[in-house]
């Protein structure tokens, strides 16, 4: 299940998570974000035992996007132990997103 986070819930949901976290930075007006959304939703369901998936609407939580230097959306950040360890920017195909994500789940 994907969790919508904001400034108030970010620390608890992402930084303090005991499992890796995939954070999707997106916006309603972003067409490439809409292409990535079904992939992220599917990852949230299929990887729920080993990965938490969160989403951040940059229009509602722009300060979070700024603090992680998000300059283009969609951007997926992978967090482990409260630190960003990798990023995926743009509407990449499912297999490329999964390949990069799987590097951090072992």
CATH of the domain at 39: 3.40.30.10
The pTM score is: 0.95
Residue-wise pLDDT for 39-75, tens only, equals 999 999 999 999 999 999 999 999 999 999 999 999 9
75-80/83-89 β-pairing: antiparallel
Q: How many domains does the chain have?
A: 1
- Say if 12 falls within a structural domain: yes
- Say if 106 falls within a structural domain: no
pLDDT at res. 1: 85
Q: Determine the structural domain holding residue 70 and report its residue range.
A: 2-101
Task: Enumerate the active-site residues.
Answer: 30, 33
DSSP string, 39-66: HHHHHHHHTTTT-EEEEEETTT-HHHHH
pLDDT surpasses 80 at 106: no
């Amino acid at each position: 299940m994907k969790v919508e986070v904001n400034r108030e819930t970010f620390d608890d949901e992402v930084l303090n998570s005991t499992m890796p976290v995939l954070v999707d930075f997106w916006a309603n007006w972003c067409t490439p974000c809409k292409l990535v959304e079904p992939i992220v939703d599917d990852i949230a369901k299929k990887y729920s035992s080993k990965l938490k998936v969160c989403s951040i609407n940059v229009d509602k939580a722009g300060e979070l996007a700024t603090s992680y230097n998000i300059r283009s959306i969609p951007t997926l950040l992978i967090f482990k132990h409260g630190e960003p360890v990798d990023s995926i920017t743009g509407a990449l195909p499912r297999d490329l997103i999964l390949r990069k994500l799987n590097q951090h789940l072992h």
